[in-house]
Amino acid sequence: NHDNAMETSTITSIIDICALDKMRRCRNLSLAFLCIVLVGLAQSASDAANKGVYKVLKNNVPCIILQADIYLYLTYQTSDSEKDVVVHVPTSSTADAGYSTCDTTITTSGMSISSQLLRINLYHMTGWTIDLAFTKDNRLKTEGEKEFTLFQVNVTANFASDPTSFPDPKYPTQQYYLHVDPNDLSDLGGSVYADIGNSYYCPSEQKYAINDNDKYGPMAYIKFKLTTVQAYMTSATFGPKTICPSDQSGTDLVPIIVGSALAGLIVLTLVVYLIYRTFLPEEVLNLVNPDSHFDSDSAGGHDNDGNDKDSVLERF
């Protein structure tokens, strides 16, 4: 009897150790899934904080909304050479309400183009502006005016405003223009477009030339990231998304990954709970739920009237 008791005690200890080990593993997996979900949520919050929001209003209703993180890559002339600089557009920059407009005509390359115009004033950078012009003119390949496109970007850079960051500029102020040719559409005009009523959505980095031809002056590029933009709006919210090609597959997978992670977390939590209950003593289970049927004699034997329980079950 003593040996049997020792053997039973040893088996019980092994079972307890295995149960604890399984619970630790499940807990670690649950924590891993939880970390994945939290990292994803933190990344989303970080992305939201790292982009500027610019609106052009008419009668308090936006006609243009741009959300993006923007960088400028500019070449400027010094007294004896050229210098390349990268300028991050502060996310606290604002739309110039006095210059931006929902209805204007832009004359470029001998064409008069009906447009909507957004001017961004760079925060704490006096004399620095970015003009972004949108149109639905079908001369710019907009499918019968059923689409809008970002067809022009112009930058005014006041290098003299910050001698430390931009030393020795030959010209205090430099302007950079995107040359518009309807017969040779720029990469920008051929990329940033959507149906009227829809928004253009592109979270990945996209870099476009403002000027890559010495014929039109110093080199300049613009990079957009975390971009959502819509022109010719009639309501205060973005329309359905037109996703840029480079993000179509990745964007489609995001909801699946997040949903799978949450489902896995729920399943693991349930498994941990069930394992925990499995190895609880019957006395504890009866304390938690006194109405449960965990008594050893409930599986067979006799009821209070002396009847064989198995035979009672067989009759039903």
Q: What is the pLDDT of residue 37?
A: 53
pLDDT at residue 313 is higher than 50: no
Average pLDDT (289-305) is 52
pLDDT tens column, 67-104? 999 999 999 999 999 999 999 999 999 999 999 999 99
Q: Dmax of the chain from CA atoms?
A: 111
What's the CATH fold of domain 51-250?
Porin (2.40.160)
Rounded to whole angstroms, the Cα distance separating 15 from 185 reads 73
pLDDT at residue 34 is higher than 70: no
Rounded to whole angstroms, the Cα distance separating 251 from 45 reads 17
Q: What angle do CA 39, 43, 47 make, to 5 degrees?
A: 175
Rounded to whole angstroms, the Cα distance separating 97 from 67 reads 16
pTM of the complete model: 0.68
Q: What is the pLDDT of residue 84?
A: 97
CA dihedral 84, 89, 95, 98 (to 10 degrees): -40
Q: Judge contact between 87 and 72, C-beta under 8 A.
A: yes
Rounded to whole angstroms, the Cα distance separating 162 from 243 reads 38
- What is the residue extent of each domain of the chain? 51-250
Q: What is the pLDDT of residue 270?
A: 80
For strands 82-88 and 61-77, give the pairing.
antiparallel
Rounded to whole angstroms, the Cα distance separating 231 from 133 reads 10
Residue 275 in tokens:
């394992």
Average pLDDT (188-217) is 94
Q: What is the pLDDT of residue 36?
A: 56
Q: What is the pLDDT of residue 173?
A: 97
